[in-house]
Amino acid sequence: MGYVFITSACYGCKRIFSYHPNLVPSIRVEGRREPICRACVERVNPMRVKNGLDAIVPKPGAYEPADEHDVDWDDHD
């Protein structure tokens, strides 16, 4: 068994972070999913709630390595 995680820049703050590719919160930019780090999620949630939107709640394991068999390799864009 192997483990996998993706490392890339957060769309919000541009800092490098690691995450589970199918669970990480993301936004669509020009039709492409762009990952958002935990710090940016925590920073934006008060504003979202103030504006009447739901808070972003990362799925369990979103910022952890994943079993290689649990990754949906076709869900990449």
pLDDT tens digits, 6-56: 899 999 999 999 999 889 999 999 999 999 999 999 999 999 999 999 999
- Identify the H or E element spanning 50: helix 38-50
pTM of the full predicted structure?
0.81
Q: Specify if 18 maps to a domain.
A: yes
Q: Report residue 73's pLDDT band, with 50, 70 and 90 as the boundaries.
A: low
* Structure-token pair, residue 73: 């390799």
Q: Specify if 32 maps to a domain.
A: yes
Nearest to 57 by CA among 23, 31, 28: 23
Q: Specify if 75 maps to a domain.
A: no
Q: Specify if 30 maps to a domain.
A: yes
* Structure-token pair, residue 11: 């769309």
Number of domains in the chain: 1
Q: Report residue 76's pLDDT band, with 50, 70 and 90 as the boundaries.
A: low
Domain that holds residue 18: 3-70
Q: Specify if 77 maps to a domain.
A: no
Rg (CA), the chain: 13
Q: Collapsing DSSP states into helix, strand and coil, what is residue 77?
A: coil
Q: Specify if 76 maps to a domain.
A: no
